[in-house]
Amino acid sequence: MKYNHGLAERKYKEEWQKKEKQYKELGMTDEQIEALREFDEREFKSDRAYYEKKVTLSETEEYDGEFIDEPNSDYLEEHWTEYITDSEKYQQLMNVPESMRKAFYLSKVIGMSQQEISSLLLIPQQTISYWIVKISKILK
């Protein structure tokens, strides 16, 4: 059976609501509960990456020959930020516009030059350079 992210996420959220209620009943502070939620969320995202690429033996007949270990570039482009485990850095990164994150991805992950990115996104090269520096500072 293939991994269904929507179903897994729904189950995760339902379980977390139950846990949160139990934690409050046990007298935990909101800060403690939030720290646990952030940890659980990082674990869920990590597991998600694993299960989305996992192929069971019963599915091998349906296997299309694409290498599982090589990330799908479209998937990676959209979800590379999920591999950031520091929740504060992740939040800061999510607060910048998507076009900035895309420029950073194209430069640092794909290896495109700033001039190529500028032509692709139709944004001045100086702006691309500024964005890359800004996101690099966030991720340090």
Q: What is the mean pLDDT of residues 50-77?
A: 52
Contact 52, 5 (CB under 8 A): yes
Of 42, 68, 94, which one is at a domain's C-terminal end?
68
Residues 135, 75 share a domain: yes
Taking only the tens place, the pLDDT of each residue in 4-60 is 667 777 888 888 899 889 888 888 899 988 888 888 888 877 776 666 666 555 544
- Give the per-residue pLDDT at 86: 78
Q: For residue 104, which of 88, 91, 121 has the smallest C-alpha distance?
A: 121
Task: Write the CATH number for 105.
Answer: 1.10.10
- Give the per-residue pLDDT at 85: 76
Burial string for 77-109 (b: 16+ CB within 10 Å, else e) reads: eeebeeebeeeeebeebeeeeeebbbbbbbbee
Q: Report the C-alpha gap between 67 and 2 in whole angstroms.
A: 16
- pTM higher than 0.75: no
Residues 81, 44 share a domain: no
Residues 91, 54 share a domain: no
The answer, yes or no, to whether residue 95 has pLDDT greater than 80, is yes
- Give the per-residue pLDDT at 96: 87
Q: Which residues contact 136 (CB under 8 A, 6 or more apart)?
A: 104, 108
Taking only the tens place, the pLDDT of each residue in 105-131 is 888 878 889 999 998 889 899 999 999
Q: What is the mean pLDDT of residues 63-79?
A: 51
Of 40, 68, 96, which one is at a domain's C-terminal end?
68
Residue by residue, DSSP assigns 51-117 as HHH---GGGTTT--S--SSSPPHHHHHHHGGGG---HHHHHHHHTS-HHHHHHHHIIIII---HHHH
The answer, yes or no, to whether residue 94 has pLDDT greater than 70, is yes
Q: Report the C-alpha gap between 137 and 123 in whole angstroms.
A: 21
